[in-house]
Structure 1
């Protein structure tokens, strides 16, 4: 445990609690747990790339200018969050159904929003949260978030910036960890790719924890381990 624990207590108790648990508390939905949503009848071509597709210029979509169903969904859920919505547990099945109507390309729009440092943090956190509800079809979008590197601009506080960026990527990796309940063979491959990608050393350590669990028939080990770490830090 010492190999992983040294940088974790500070990062997880601040970045993880401030980012991931914040959105879970606001929504009153499960931050972790086996993903129950069924995959849409659509061929899923799981990404095998070590680099994020979000680093490439996004093609302009044809159709009505300014309308994107993924962003419409995002806007309505952020609005509910800011208004203090308390019925998130009841609303979650509705949101899952709306996510099922989005294409995988539209799910990638949410991933692009999640890594957009010019976007509002509430929108970015909600984007990751929504993808965590979308099942296997969100695999590539979540995977891209994890693989997207970040560096602090000179005009911002580097520590706070790094904490925010790490918390978003940890949540995306945690959501991937939960997808191992649905497709352990694929997620085993995914975690191996994360460990060879441009992702941060800390994320690679987390991917190793997830991979160890999947390899030993215990999917979701990363989520369990993170929860225990946060709980232990809270008891100190």
Structure 2
């Protein structure tokens, strides 16, 4: 509103402001291995000045967060809580809302599933004593070599951590001294969101030996056939 005064000597001056159009961002959250969309990841939104703009933004069943009504500028989405069974990754997802934005800004972020641990115990098949110095290699379900030169310690154990969920097998490549090699795979599974180490075991049988007895005549030293014996331990 303005008024033109009677006998006005100067122009009436008025002003008005415009607010830039706002924009929208959509983040999609996925599993780093399977590319499956992940629900229940929580984010916060900050602007270029590190000011908190929104918080408690949670991905839906489609793995998405949509944030509208954002003024033009630079922003970052920061993960504050990972979905169950996944590792938190707080690396910011940077994006820009352009002036007069015509399309939704689309960004994405992946989560890596939490890793698990396996513990193998190696024992003597007869005495159940723990055996050191047995060597194994670890392969996944695709038969790809994951680790090698895994050697049992003085407690007869091998512990392997940081294993992604999936099926694996431990294969003996060198038996302890005095024992027979058994290359039959020890299969195990690292479960999604594993809470305890997977425990497996394998035994070794001691190598066998041979005895030769010679039977002779006590006077002539001639070898004697047809003597019958039994063997006891």
Question: TM-score, normalization: structure 1?
Answer: 0.18
- Kindly name which structure, 1 or 2, has the bigger radius of gyration based on alpha carbons: 2
Which structure carries more helix by proportion?
A: 1
Question: TM-score, normalization: structure 2?
Answer: 0.18
